[in-house]
Amino acid sequence: MFLDTQPAALDAHGGADPWSEFRVGHPSEVLALMRRLRDGAHAVNLNGPGGQMLGTVLWSMDEARRRMNFSVDPDRPELAGLIEAGEAVAVAYLDSVKLQFDLHEMVLVRAARGAVLQTELPPVLYRFQRRQAFRVRVPEGTQPTVRLRHPSLPDMTLTLRVLDVSIGGCALAVPQDVPALQPGTRVASTLVTLDADTRLETGLALQHATSIQPEQRSVRIGCAWIGLSPSAERALQRYIDQTQKRRRLLTLF
């Protein structure tokens, strides 16, 4: 079982590649997966050789030059270590699939609207079936929310949009004008409204925050459920199953 955001150890010690069944090396397949990461603004975690970890999203790609740009905050302390090392292992998720790929030739490019970390497109990546929890993006046209009191400002009540959900937690969109929610914080009580039939009362552990895309002016924060009751877990699993079934049906038309 592979841990969230952590890269699997892929170093082969001679002989055949033991991870060959998970390897994706055809250029068109690699591009297709990278386009899905970009188009869906999925969170990508960059893991440096010195233990650095930086959350980001794939903002754009130049397929002709085989370069890609990750949205970054140039003031993050982890960034300098990654650039100095010149390499990183990226980990991301597409629903129940974990993607892992190496990054090289990383360069920080500053622009008027922000900064990007530019790197070469990976020639190879690895796909692993994620066993811990199946994650689904909420259906378009719906507005699932989580209502909570701001951990640092108890008089402030927030209603945050749910981006995706799994049996283990969810991802929330936090507007940039909201006082920062700090990873590692626990919120004792929240109200989760996924649809007219699925309302859950549960705690949340705020785990990691990444920027989404500059024009969306929001931050994506990953959360884990705390104290989810058996009945709430069943309702959540039913919501996930129904959402996935609707997605499969849409692909038939």
Give me the CATH number covering residue 41: 2.30.110.10
| Mean pLDDT for the stretch of residues 63-87 | 88
In a domain, 13, yes or no: no
**Shared domain check, 198 and 115:** no
Residue percentage of the chain with pLDDT more than 90: 39
CA distance 116 to 219: 16
**Shared domain check, 240 and 144:** yes
> What confidence category does residue 151 fall into, taking pLDDT thresholds of 50, 70 and 90?
very high
**Shared domain check, 198 and 215:** yes
Q: What is the pLDDT of residue 101?
A: 94
Indicate whether 96 pLDDT > 80. Answer: no
Indicate whether 11 pLDDT > 90. Answer: no
> What confidence category does residue 9 fall into, taking pLDDT thresholds of 50, 70 and 90?
low
In a domain, 236, yes or no: yes
Give the residue with greater pLDDT, 112 vs 173. Answer: 173
In a domain, 8, yes or no: no
**Shared domain check, 119 and 25:** yes
Question: Which of helix, strand or coil describes residue 198?
Answer: strand
> What confidence category does residue 4 fall into, taking pLDDT thresholds of 50, 70 and 90?
very low
Which span out of 7-16, 108-117, 173-182 was modeled with the highest average pLDDT?
A: 173-182
Question: What's the number of domains the chain is made of?
Answer: 2
**Shared domain check, 203 and 113:** no
Task: Give residue 57's identity as a one-letter amino acid code.
Answer: V
Question: Which of helix, strand or coil describes residue 95?
Answer: coil
Indicate whether 226 pLDDT > 90. Answer: yes
Sort 26 into a burial class: Cβ within 10 Å, 0-12 / 13-18 / 19+.
exposed
Give me the CATH number covering residue 154: 2.40.10.220
Q: What is the pLDDT of residue 2?
A: 36
Q: Which of 73, 98, 129 delimits the end of a domain? A: 129
Tokens standing for 222?
A: 């990953």
Q: What is the pLDDT of residue 194?
A: 95
In a domain, 10, yes or no: no
| Mean pLDDT for the stretch of residues 102-109 | 90
In a domain, 241, yes or no: yes
Indicate whether 233 pLDDT > 70. Answer: yes
**Shared domain check, 159 and 113:** no
**Shared domain check, 165 and 75:** no
In a domain, 1, yes or no: no
In a domain, 9, yes or no: no
**Shared domain check, 161 and 120:** no
Mean pLDDT of the chain: 84
Q: What is the pLDDT of residue 207?
A: 86
| Mean pLDDT for the stretch of residues 90-112 | 85
CA distance 89 to 239: 33
Q: Print the domain residue range for 174.
A: 136-250
**Shared domain check, 233 and 184:** yes
**Shared domain check, 243 and 176:** yes
The answer to whether 30 and 125 have CB atoms below 8 angstroms apart is yes
**Shared domain check, 60 and 152:** no
CA distance 94 to 37: 7
**Shared domain check, 155 and 107:** no
Q: Which of 68, 99, 129 delimits the end of a domain? A: 129
Q: What is the pLDDT of residue 187?
A: 95
Residue percentage of the chain with pLDDT more than 70: 84
In a domain, 159, yes or no: yes
The answer to whether 55 and 210 have CB atoms below 8 angstroms apart is yes
Q: What is the pLDDT of residue 31?
A: 92
Output the 3-class SS for 98-136. Answer: EEEEEEECCEEEEECCEEEEEEECCCCEEEEECCCCCCE
